Amino acid sequence: MSETPELQQSAITTVREFFAALEMDAADEAIELLDPDIVWKNTSLPDVRGVKRVGSLLRGLNRDSLGFRVDMHHIAAESEGHPPTEGQTILTERTDYLRFGPIEFGFWVCGTFELVDGRITLWHDHFSWENLLRGLGVGVVRSLRRPRR
């Protein structure tokens, strides 16, 4: 790890704050919770490595035409009694909602977060492409049914 100071809070709090920052379009606050060598994995997509690349993608969500929110269904920590410097694992079960213009859609995600010294070193999301596409279809239909202003 680099010269980044250790965060003094629980791993679950860090993950919750990470998602809260993303929901509030506060990408820089979310990025502060990441380790410089973060690895972001998504089902069947290429890995994104390093805080500069992950940060660039997260900052790209800070547009009026885009949005993100999450419903956290379950969150659990596993540390096996190790001190935070040896890492903790946080498991999340959630529904992520993405918005592109007038279309918002939700899909189920199971995420694994590994933290060392209070910072997220691994963000690994598992989701079903079928569920994502179904959610997108529902979102498109809902946007077409909304009354125009």
In this structure, are residues 18 and 40 in contact, taking their beta carbons and an 8 Å threshold? no
Give the active site residue among 25, 71, 96, 117.
Answer: 96
Measured distance CA(55)–CA(46) in Å, rounded? 16
Cα angle at 60 between 56 and 64, to 5 degrees? 160
DSSP per-residue letters across 99-127? EETTEEEEEEEEEEEEEETTEEEEEEEEE
Residue among 25, 35, 71, 125 flagged as catalytic: 125
Give percent helix, percent strand, percent coil of the chain, each to the nearest 5.
30, 40, 30
Catalytic annotation present for 28:
no
Q: Which residues pair with 110 in a beta bridge?
A: 93, 126
**Is 96 a residue of the active site?**
yes
- Residues with catalytic annotation? 96, 125
